[in-house]
Copies of this chain bind each other. A is one copy, B any other.
């Protein structure tokens, strides 16, 4: 027995395809009598609706795609863990794509290629995309952007207040008596907005405390991973005047940085305090545990999905908005020896 179709069900039940469709989709009201006739026929035939056919007829795929630069970055993995069930509950499947931060790949994804038909909307955390690239995208694509690419009014953007968060992080370092504070993770080029916001917070905290900023202590990295953190920390410690604290732009960077410090027999936080960003699980189990900025990841994921689905459902163009999730500072052992 092959697959049976809606028409087969209609015939067996002695009704029209229209009625079967109504029963399956719960559209119009249907008599209890006909309903059970239809349901019986469905059971007998083992009928299941062909989603492909439905997609073509409705012009919607029931899928959304989530595009992240790296899937093995815990931050994105943790985000996906909320995004997927949330979307699922709203009736959407989730496709996942990783771009390796490659601009061309990202451009292709938001452009008007054939894959557009495969998803009704997209949540993207871009890395290589410039602001213009974003504006040149397929205008019919409902889009929600994570990270830092201020909205141009045609898509939504959800994130936390990075400047404020970074300021808090550095203020914390200052509050525990540190004065020579380094930053690891700046990206002083057009697509590095996210990083630059953190750098801005770094400066703001210094200014607020009337501390000078030693520009040479701001280290750039191309990515936000452990290897970058380890390398950058090595460079800092090689200096004649190493810092007494480091603000890392991600927990992975912090993890790498701490690794290097400990290898050199330095004590963290006594000799050098370290604070990260993202609050990934690793940071709660490492040695020392990593102080961090904890963005409300659940809120970010839910906001993104809700907003995207709203966009998909709307026929009118929706004005792009900036959505801010909460964040909080979580001091741990990498800044306070006896932290919880």
Contacts and interface: CB of A to CB of B under 8 A. Distances in A.
Interface of A: 46, 48-53, 55-56, 59, 61, 63, 70-72, 74, 77-78, 80-81, 84-85, 93-98, 112-118, 226, 230, 255-256, 258-259, 262, 281-282, 284-287
A113 B50 CA distance: 10
24 contacts: A48-B114, A50-B56, A52-B56, A52-B61, A53-B56, A55-B55, A71-B81, A71-B84, A72-B81, A77-B77, A80-B96, A84-B97, A93-B95, A93-B115, A93-B118, A95-B96, A226-B284, A226-B285, A255-B285, A259-B285, A259-B286, A259-B287, A286-B286, A286-B287
A151 to B, nearest CB: 25
Among all A-B residue pairs, the 8 with the closest Cβ atoms: A287-B287, A96-B96, A51-B117, A72-B77, A48-B114, A56-B56, A52-B55, A52-B56
A207 to B, nearest CB: 33
Contact of A95 (B81, B95, B115): B95
A55 B59 CA distance: 12
B46 A112 contact: yes
Interface centre among A71, A74, A255 (most CB of B within 10 A): A71
Nearest to A114: B48
B84 A98 contact: yes
The SS class assigned to the A binding surface is helix
Nearest to A118: B51
A44 B85 CA distance: 41
Contacts of A49: 114
A291 to B, nearest CB: 16
Given A48-B114, A52-B55, A72-B81, 19 more contacts: A46-B112, A50-B56, A50-B114, A51-B117, A52-B52, A52-B56, A53-B56, A63-B95, A70-B81, A71-B80, A71-B84, A72-B77, A77-B77, A80-B96, A84-B97, A85-B98, A93-B95, A93-B118, A262-B287
Contacts of A53: 56
B71 A117 contact: no
Contacts of A258: 287
A71 B113 CA distance: 28
Contacts of A98: 81, 84-85
A262 B52 CA distance: 55
Nearest to A113: B48
A81 B61 CA distance: 25
B61 A71 contact: no
B96 A94 contact: yes
Contacts of A118: 51-52, 63, 93
A227 to B, nearest CB: 9
A28 to B, nearest CB: 20
A112 B49 CA distance: 11
A77 B77 CA distance: 7
Given A117-B51, A226-B281, A287-B262, A74 B71 contact: no
A301 to B, nearest CB: 12
A72 B61 contact: no
A50 B97 contact: no
Given A74-B72, A226-B281, A281-B226, A52 B46 contact: no
